[in-house]
Amino acid sequence: MSKQHIKIVVTFTFATSWVVFFSCAGVPSARQQPAQGHSLGATPQKRSNGSEMVFWNTSTSAGDLIIVGVGGIQMYDSGSIQKALEDAARKVSLYTGLTGAVVYYEKIGSSFLNYSVANVTKIDYNEDYLGYIEQLHYDSDRDIIINERGAFVRVRYKLPDPFHVVYPSSSGEAEKPDWVVNPPSSVAGFPAGVGYAGPQMYPNATYVASYEAAIAHLVGKGSNSIEAKSLQIQGEGYNYDDIRENTITASAVINGFYILQVWVDPASGGVYTLAIAQVVKGL
């Protein structure tokens, strides 16, 4: 299995969070895949206008992972569904283990022209994850939706060792979930992280950026090494400047990364994700 480094630039602080939303609707026959012989419970609800809900709950069920894969729109529905299944498989791989590093850099000067901020998250994980697709189960009549936002497939991944966690939260069409307003430090005894991502060029990319921001939040709970460097440049009169550079780094090993709930802000289109980890160990 090969491992590669992925560098993702995100705008977040360690206190932000992201969430993914899921909805379900009847799927025309052209979109149907062979039934996987599994039902995921009650049929997801829709708003009165027929559009999808902006909130979904993916707490574990019967000890198995419930995952929503999100994919971009392709020429054919089968291609869109395939992209969503690939995203779900990636989330399974992230659950099995990852190493994350977050770097926050800030430059402050006496002039606004000398102010800059950058956040970089690097994630190492098993990228040979497509084999997990064969282990994902879903009901083609109830667990697929394709709309202008993308393709969404809700799947079940059966764990060799059952994992149980439920977070009792709810949301209305415009009401923020409680974990968005007051992010929990833990859920069911597991470290919790909330990620947020503003609308991206491609809607499905917003969901990815959101759950990667949640990973960054969890990494921030690992061991931090802080390096601060100050530089003063002094001249005469208007040539005087005082520039300070601050760098904050954090790195951690995460096992059992799992998305519990997702909420989409109907006003801005930003995505919030609530995730947990079974183990967060600083490096």
| Contact (CB, 8 A) for 259 and 211 | yes
Range of lowest pLDDT (37-41, 92-96, 183-187): 37-41
Q: Find residue 11's DSSP bridge partners.
A: none
User: pLDDT at residue 104 above 90?
Assistant: no
CA dihedral (184, 187, 193, 196) positive or negative: negative
- For 127, the 3-state DSSP assignment is coil
Contacts of 249 (CB under 8 A, 6+ apart): 101, 102, 103, 104, 224, 225, 226, 227
174-218 confidence digits (pLDDT tens): 678 999 999 999 999 999 999 999 999 988 899 999 999 999 999
Question: What's the pLDDT at 54?
Answer: 77
| Contact (CB, 8 A) for 239 and 232 | no
Structure token pair of residue 112:
């606004």
Contacts of 179 (CB under 8 A, 6+ apart): 17, 167, 169, 192, 194, 261, 274
52-78 confidence digits (pLDDT tens): 557 888 889 888 999 999 999 899 999
- For 180, the 3-state DSSP assignment is helix
Residue 98 to residues 68, 75, 106: CA-CA distances in angstroms? 19, 33, 26
Domain that includes residue 273, residue range? 3-282
Please give the mean pLDDT across all residues of the chain.
78
Cα dihedral: 8, 13, 16, 18 (round 10): -10
Can you list the positions of beta strands (E) in the chain?
3-9, 55-57, 65-71, 98-108, 116-126, 136-137, 144-147, 150-157, 186-187, 190-197, 224-233, 241-255, 258-264, 271-276, 279-282
Work out the average pLDDT over 78-105: 94
CA dihedral (158, 129, 80, 268) positive or negative: positive
Q: Find residue 191's DSSP bridge partners.
A: 186
The total number of structural domains in the chain stands at 1
pLDDT band at 142 (very low <50, low <70, confident <90, very high): confident
Question: What's the pLDDT at 224?
Answer: 62
User: pLDDT at residue 100 above 90?
Assistant: yes
| Contact (CB, 8 A) for 178 and 17 | no
